[in-house]
Amino acid sequence: MLVGSFNPAIFQPAWFAKLGLLSEETTKKAEVKIITPQVCHFETDEFVLQVVDQRFLVQSKMSADPAPLSDLVSGTFFILEHTPVTAMGLNRQMHVDLQSEEAWHRFGDRLVPKDGWKSVLDGRPGMVGVAVQSPMKDFPNALFTMRIEPSQRLKHGAYFDTNENYSAQADEPEPLKRLMQILKTRWEKVEPYATNVAEHILTWAKADK
């Protein structure tokens, strides 16, 4: 996801095909939800693209390989090199099956201890969500955030949503160019990094206190 100033109406399938960023076959099969001066939303078999005035978002579908999206975004903004962009987010979502109701509750209790709540709330208190954020030491003005919630897809599952947020620096002359370089550097590392953090938390939560 990019944050900045965009012209949604240009980001339609035919535009990507004309510039060689997507194949004719892909764009002909694209499902256009809406294209107006204020919003563009279309889907292909591999990804969903949504653009509004201040946000450009492209997201791979569950069954698709996310790798080509890096080339799509970098190619798009190589052409639109003067687009004002202030931030970029690289996200990863995961649903993990915890196998049983007991393990599901134990995981939530480990992340958010309920002792302080039990004396003032009725029934069994449960975790609705928790978020943790930390700076990314190798990148100025960058933050890593992980949110954990009960999964809406798996009965006894946990949902992990990670975001690497990179912001333009004050008075930076070419923020878009730097952010696209970060995209190239980080793209293949986002998934394993997020998976490693999630697996660490899952292992820690299972360990004896």
Q: What is the H or E stretch that residue 101 is in? A: helix 101-111
Query: Tokens standing for 105?
Result: 């509750």
pTM: 0.89
Residue 171 confidence (pLDDT): 83
Residue range 30-81, pLDDT digits in tens = 999 999 999 999 999 999 999 999 999 999 988 778 888 999 999 999 999 9
Confidence at 201, pLDDT banded by 50, 70, 90: very high
Residue type, 121: L
Taking only Cα atoms into account, the Rg of the chain, rounded to an integer number of angstroms, comes to: 20
Angle separating helix axes 67-79 and 175-206, nearest 10 degrees: 160
